[in-house]
């Protein structure tokens, strides 16, 4: 069966990104790579994605994980503040 290729858990081995937008994209990637570490079969992943992405509860559950990953990435980047706030 076709498997997702081997790849790192953390792209570029860093939590530091240039901007919140890039940090958000990294949060999505981190959560996807976790799932690929548990399930490598492409067909299972594709079927699973079709299932949860058409179910509002699946989408909410997935967005919850992204929010938790993003919290870590945002802290790592000191929230991309240009100057200290307050």
- Residue 1 touching its own copies (CB under 8 A): no
Q: Which CB, 42 or 48, lies closer to its own copies?
A: 48
16 vs 5: CA distance, rounded Å: 24
Query: Does residue 2 touch its own copies according to CB under 8 A?
Result: no
Phi then psi dihedrals of residue 7, to 5 deg: -160, 160
Q: Is 23 helix (H, G, I), strand (E, B) or coil?
A: helix
75 contacts its own copies (rule: CB under 8 A): yes
Using CB under 8 A as the binding rule, whether residue 62 contacts its own copies is answered as yes
Q: Tell whether residue 17 is a contact of its own copies (CB under 8 A).
A: no
């Amino acid at each position: 069966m076709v498997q997702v290729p081997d790849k790192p858990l953390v792209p570029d081995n860093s939590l530091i990104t240039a901007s919140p937008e890039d940090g958000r994209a990294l949060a999505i990637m981190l959560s996807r790579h976790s799932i690929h570490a548990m399930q490598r079969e492409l067909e299972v992943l594709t079927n699973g994605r079709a299932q949860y992405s058409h179910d509002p509860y699946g989408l909410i559950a997935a967005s919850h994980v992204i929010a938790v990953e993003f919290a870590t990435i945002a802290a790592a980047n000191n929230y991309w503040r240009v100057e200290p706030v307050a």
